[in-house]
Structure 1
Amino acid sequence: MAALITGGARSGKSSFAERYAAKLAERGIYIATAAIGDDEMRERITRHREQREEGGFRWETVEETLKLAEQLDTLNQEADEAVRSGSKPPVVLVDCLTLWLTNTLLAYEHEPAGRLEQEVDRLVEAVAAYRHPLLLVTNEVGSGIVPAYPLGRTFRDAAGRMNRKMAEVCDRTFLVVSGIPVDLSRIAVSLDDL
């Protein structure tokens, strides 16, 4: 069961995802994709970790900035083993896909254009294959102005395509606006219904 949780910056996506996770399992694995690039980011990461620890839900934090698909494959196998042994698997929360995309874009910036898309497709496959509770936080970045520089436009377009692909393989998709989650899956319109 995978759910995609999207929204703007500081919309409440992560706190909704953490509360949702607590309803799905007794413990969780928090995959943090942020890379520490400066003191401000280090402070943010420390603050987020402290907030999770104070929340009362048991989190194990895994930092993974690039090899996210491989990490999900491994966790999927571990969760399968837990189920076989009679245990309930943890919920996995990835926060966030757009930071992972940024890291991946920068890592492969000088490689052929299709390389980024291959990495996104590999991640989509890993999410589609995941058989246990999985929550994916991402940013909705395409609603603003067109970036003035090529790398910014590449990122914006890649994020939009990634989010669309993820929504296709997830069971539910939520949009969080001003702290209010909206279940897009329940209000989506099918072309067949028109």
Structure 2
Amino acid sequence: MSKTNPPLTRTGAILVTGPARSGKSEWAERLARDSGLAVTYVATARLDPDDAEWNTRIDAHRARRPAEWQTCEAPTALVAALAEHDRAGHCLLVDSLGTWVANLLEVDTAAWQAEVEHLLEQLGRTRAPVILVAEETGWGVIPAHPQGRLFRDRLGALTRQLGPRCAASYLVSAGHAIDLSRLGIPID
């Protein structure tokens, strides 16, 4: 591990966020690998028999994972997966929160808020270090369609709630990870 990579601790999750194709998953995988802990990769994506390009993306993520990493598929049941795989000497890598949000877009606002609260509570109870990968989607134009705006707003609000609760937060852009916890100023 390089001097710039913090060791994973039991004091909180690590949030890794960034735009598409920025290297955020690779950075999260590096943090997990460098931890020296057994890793469970919590995948929120599901294969789609009608979308070959999507399946190719999933296959690329699978191909990068070390063979000894366990994989848990949790497209919607993220909180249950974190609880089930929480154990000492283990690291959980969730990739990605954006896909999880997309998988739950059909739930109403009250049900979504309950999911977020359950996730925050579970992260507070989890003994294993957790690395959370999330997409940054709000840097462009406001989506023209209601579902796009709902997705962007839910994911943005979720990462904003997670950031202060995490031991470290990284922004990955253009293949570089920036430690927001050290360089940023928290917003109340």
TM over 0.5, shorter chain? yes
- Counterpart for residue 27 of structure 1: 38
Matched, 1:65 2:75: yes
Give the corresponding residue for 1:9: 20
Query: 2:188 aligned with 1:182, yes or no?
Result: no
| Cα distance, 1:161 vs structure 2 | 0.4
The normalised TM-score by structure 2 is 0.86
For 2:110 and 2:187, locate their aligned partners in 1 and report how far apart those are by CA, in whole Å: 30
| TM superposition shift of 1:96 | 0.3
Amino acid at match of 1:7: G
Could you tell me which amino acid in structure 2 is paired with residue 126 of structure 1? Q
Q: Does 1:169 align with 2:171?
A: no
Answer yes or no: is the 8 Å Cα contact 2:90–2:129 preserved in 1: yes
| DSSP 3-state at the match of 2:140 | coil
- Summarize the alignment of residues 10-159 of structure 1 with structure 2, pairs less than 5 Å apart: 10-37=21-48, 38-53=51-66, 58-76=68-86, 79=87, 83=88, 89-106=89-106, 108=107, 112-159=108-155
**Do the aligned partners of 1:2 and 1:130 also contact (CA within 8 Å) in 2?**
no
The separation in 2 between residues aligned to 1:93 and 1:148, in whole angstroms, is 32
Instruction: Give, in whole Å, the separation in 2 of the partners of 1:42 and 1:177.
Output: 24
Unaligned segments of structure 1, at least 5 residues:
84-88
Gaps of 5+ in 2: 1-11
Cα separation, 2, equivalents of 1:141 and 1:65: 19
Identity %: 38
Runs of 4+ in 1 over 6 A off after TM superposition: none
Which structure has the bigger radius of gyration?
A: 1
Aligned length: 175
Calculate the aligned-residue CA RMSD, in Å. 1.7
What is the TM-score with the length of structure 1 in the denominator?
A: 0.84
